[in-house]
Amino acid sequence: MPKTTRAALAASTLLLAGCFSPSSDLPKGELAYRTMPAASDKIGAQEYRIGVLDTLSIRVFQESELTFDELSVNSAGTINFPFIGEMTAIGKTPIELSREIEAGLGSRYIRDPQVVVGVVSSAAQRVTVDGEVEQPGVYEIAGTSSLLESVARARGITSVGVDDEVIIFRMINGERHGAIFDLKAIREGRADDPEVLGGDRIVVGYSALRGTWQSFLRAAPLFNAFTRF
């Protein structure tokens, strides 16, 4: 058998063995955007909600002893505030927490208190980008991001990554959900860029087809050395 024919047969075998099988149990297309909509489909940006290990600033007008430049939310999601005691902070917006502190102080200690809560640093505003990207890792975002931006933070997809089936995992109402997005279509402007929130995990899959083909190409010089007549 000629050397070129043997090489072609070997390549065909490798490609057939390495076909990529997409995740069929996760929503894609319109169904994916119903689960995780694009920013343009939403009415304004989602309000930030305080998470565990966030660092807050709390200022009470004209009350220096009740003003803190940094106050950490503990792992249970609570803070301890003077005169009030333990308060649940997790899941509340800074404005909601401000109003609760005002109510707690105003009921017994201070007349018409004015409280401003800010977020100094957020442990919850991080996105994990995993799989076939150049630099997998955990990346901080300011408020919200998008799928395209998040993958760019990880220096893009590798040569064996699947750019038309990128998965976003998210906790929604205590349950883990996943949806598949076509990053190639997003880049080309044929699909919306879904919003990415703190706590999301992005996974770029491995294309066995591309990986096997690249392995074959790398092995080709060695393969030729053993097939010479």
**Does 227 reside within a domain?**
no
Identify the pLDDT of residue 11. Answer: 45
Residue 147 and residue 39 in one domain: yes
For the segment 55-80, the average pLDDT, to the nearest whole number, is 91
Cβ neighbours of residue 28 closer than 8 Å, sequence gap 6 or more? 165, 179, 180, 181, 182
Model confidence at 147: pLDDT above 80: yes
Model confidence at 225: pLDDT above 50: no
Identify the pLDDT of residue 171. Answer: 79
Cβ neighbours of residue 7 closer than 8 Å, sequence gap 6 or more? 220, 223, 224, 227
> What's the structural domain count of the chain?
2
Model confidence at 163: pLDDT above 80: yes
What is the per-residue pLDDT across 26-37, written as a single tens digit (0 to 9) for each? 888 889 898 888
Provide the residue type at 28 as one letter: K
Best CA proximity match to 148, nearest among 169, 131, 161, 129 = 129
- The DSSP secondary structure of 106-164, one letter per residue, reads HTTT-SS--EEEEEEE-SS-EEEEEESBSS-EEEE-SSEEEHHHHHHHTT-B-TTEEEE
Residue 29 and residue 95 in one domain: no
Cβ neighbours of residue 81 closer than 8 Å, sequence gap 6 or more? 58, 66, 71, 87, 101, 104
Query: How does residue 170 score in pLDDT terms, banded at 50, 70 and 90?
Result: confident
Q: What is the mean pLDDT of the chain?
A: 79
**Does 3 reside within a domain?**
no
Least confident among 46-55, 61-70, 102-111, 145-154: 46-55
**Within 13 A of 12's CA, how many CA atoms are on the CB side?**
6
Residue 34 and residue 132 in one domain: yes
Write out the H or E segment, with its range, that includes residue 172. strand 161-172
Residue 19 and residue 64 in one domain: no
Nearest-angstrom CA–CA distance, 131 and 86? 41
**Does 5 reside within a domain?**
no
Identify the pLDDT of residue 13. Answer: 45
Model confidence at 6: pLDDT above 80: no
Cβ neighbours of residue 89 closer than 8 Å, sequence gap 6 or more? 50, 54, 56, 73, 77, 78, 79, 97
Query: How does residue 133 score in pLDDT terms, banded at 50, 70 and 90?
Result: very high
Residue 67 and residue 19 in one domain: no
| Whole-number percent of the chain with pLDDT over 70 | 73
Identify the pLDDT of residue 40. Answer: 57
Identify the pLDDT of residue 71. Answer: 93
What is the per-residue pLDDT across 80-117, written as a single tens digit (0 to 9) for each? 999 999 999 987 889 999 999 999 998 778 888 999 99
Residue 205 and residue 147 in one domain: yes
Residue 132 and residue 169 in one domain: yes
Residue 151 and residue 82 in one domain: no
Q: Examine the fold and report which residue of 99, 121, 143 is the final residue of a domain before the chain moves on.
A: 121
Nearest-angstrom CA–CA distance, 35 and 44? 17
Domain that holds residue 81: 55-121
